[in-house]
Amino acid sequence: MIIYFIRAIFIVTIAAFLFVSINQSADMPGGEGEQDVMAIFITGMAIAATVIAVDWLTPKKSLNSLAGIFFGLMIGIFISWAMTPVLTMVDDLYFRMSPSAMRIAKWIMGVCICYLTTSLVIRTKDDMRFVIPYVVFSRQTKGLRPLVLDTSVIIDGRIADIAQTRLFDSPLIIPRFVLNELQLIADSPDKMKRNRGRRGLDILNKMQTSSIVDVKVDDTPPPGLEATAGVDHKLVAFTKNCDGRLVTNDYNLNKVAQLRGVDVVNINDLANALKTVTLPGETMQVKVIRAGEEAQQGIGYLDDGTMIVVEEGRGHIGETIMFSVTSALQTSAGRMIFGKFERVLTAARNSAPRNNYVAKT
């Protein structure tokens, strides 16, 4: 809401300046006043319309990028100012250009230098320690603390639905090494891992294309760790460096992060606080993949990794069945759903063919 108020103040201020300038120009003798009035009005309206259009159409950018652009422009203006006497001296010695051509040359030099400095700052903003030796800048986050997502919570998928509810005002940060691990899982020769990896990539694409969720992939390497370090260690170091909160449903990572003093948002704890949406008597379907520990139990998994324990499901391994929910258990380590077999939906492909007998009359 505040941005609309600022835009309104800008429009009123521009209109006031145009009104004062037009009145002053109209009081000038001769016909020059009318020409100045038209020139001021057209120029002012064009500039105001351009500024409003740029502000309206420019997508939301991070403060780091805007600060880098501003810093690059300041350096470029300073270098251009320092190079102006040099350009004048070179012109006096060799070229002797006209004053108008000299002004154009100064403008071209200034634009080129500002472009080069801004591009250089934007591309090397994470390597500032090489500009100031022996000093490593720690990333300080002002305002809302970012939420750093790990691989398990992306594959889980519930974070996308939670973010769509506008529960989180903080930006969602995905480190580059997490994205690389997700791609490795999606390319795994194991079918179950491959499906989980592809599900994670689909969830990530869904969040990035959403206009509600603010998702950003961060290439900043975690400080103090080698490139071959484990992803969990990198996540803890990365989150601590950016003063963020780690979002995970990994029980072990949760404990390690808490020991390191990193705030953790556990999706399983959040789901436990909100209670499960699975109610007793509700029917669901799952593919039974192995036998359970108890007699006649079959084990299956949902797409998000939730374990399903089906009574009387041992005899339907490899088949997709319908079961009715009897109870659900939600803990920090994950969720388990218990159910009772109802009927077979899809039979196993490797099941033995049935013999057909034709009764003779």
Name residue, tokens 């100012």: 81
- Residues 4 and 42 placed together within one structural domain of the fold: yes
The confidence score (pLDDT) of residue 352 equals 42
Question: Rounded distance, CA 187 to CA 191, Å?
Answer: 9
In this structure, the answer to whether residues 171 and 212 fall within a common structural domain is yes
3-state secondary structure of 234: helix
Residue 165 is given by DSSP the state T
Where is the domain boundary, 219, 245, 273? 273
The pair of structure tokens assigned to 353 is: 């063919």
Is residue 300 in a domain? yes
Question: What CATH number is given to the structural domain containing 298?
Answer: 2.40.50.140
Query: Is the Cβ–Cβ distance between 314 and 297 less than 8 Å?
Result: yes
Boundaries of domain holding 308: 278-346
Encode pLDDT of 104-153 as tens digits. 777 778 878 877 887 777 666 555 444 444 334 444 444 578 889 988 88
86 is a domain residue: no
**DSSP strands (E only) in the chain:** 147-149, 172-175, 215-218, 245-248, 264-266, 283-291, 297-301, 307-311, 320-331, 334-346
Based on the fold, state whether residues 334 and 238 are members of the same structural domain.
no
Identify whether 196 is part of a domain. yes
> Among 10, 43, 58, where does a domain finish?
58
Same structural domain for residues 197 and 179? yes
Strands (E), 193-319: 215-218, 245-248, 264-266, 283-291, 297-301, 307-311
Q: How far apart are the first and last CA of the chain?
A: 85
| Residue 266 and residue 222 share a domain | yes
Domain assignment of residue 269, yes or no: yes
- CB 340, CB 324: distance < 8 Å: yes
Residue 159 belongs to domain with CATH number:
3.40.50.1010
Q: pTM (2 decimals)? A: 0.44
Predicted local distance difference test score (pLDDT) of residue 124: 66
290 in a structural domain: yes
- Same-domain check for residues 159 and 256: yes
Identify whether residues 228 and 286 lie together within a single domain: no
Residues 269 and 155 in one domain: yes
- Distance (Å, rounded) from C-alpha 159 to C-alpha 153? 7
Q: What is the 3-state secondary structure (H, E, C) of 312-360?
A: CCHHHCCCEEEEEEEEEEEECCEEEEEEEEEEEEECCCCCCCCCCCCCC
Task: Measure the CA–CA gap between 158 and 82, rounded to whole angstroms.
Answer: 56
The secondary structure of residue 276, as a DSSP letter, is -
Q: Are residues 329 and 232 in the same domain?
A: no
Please name the helix (run of DSSP H) or strand (run of DSSP E) that holds residue 4, with its range, or none.
helix 2-26
**Burial label, 122 (beta-carbon count in 10 A; 0-12, 13-18, 19+):** middle
Query: Distance (Å, rounded) from C-alpha 155 to C-alpha 202?
Result: 9
Q: How far apart are CA 264 and CA 247, in angstroms?
A: 6
Does some domain include residue 44? yes
Regions in the chain scoring below 70 on pLDDT? 1-7, 10, 17-18, 20-41, 43-44, 51, 54-66, 68, 122-143, 274-277, 331-334, 348-361
| Strand order, beta sheet including 172-175 | 215-218, 172-175, 147-149, 245-248, 264-266
Domain boundary residue, one of 58, 85, 104: 58
Residue 72: CA count within 13 A, CB half-sphere: 21
Predicted local distance difference test score (pLDDT) of residue 66 = 66
Number of domains, the chain: 3
Using a 10 angstrom Cβ sphere, with 0-12 exposed, 13-18 middle and 19 or more buried, the burial of residue 320 is middle
Query: Distance between CA atoms of 298 and 251, rounded to whole angstroms?
Result: 25
| Helix, strand, coil share of the chain (percent; to 5) | 50, 15, 30
| Contact assessment for residue 156 and residue 305, using Cβ atoms and an 8 Å cutoff | yes
- Same domain membership, residue 287 and residue 189: no
Residue 51 falls within a domain, yes or no? yes
For 33-52, b where at least 16 C-beta lie within 10 A, e where not — what string? eeebbeebeeebeeebeeee
Same domain, 151 and 267: yes
Looking at the structure, do residues 158 and 47 belong to the same domain, yes or no?
no
Residue 113 lies in a domain: no
HSE-CB for 239 with a 13 A CA cutoff: 29
Return d(Cα 84, Cα 280) in angstroms, integer. 79
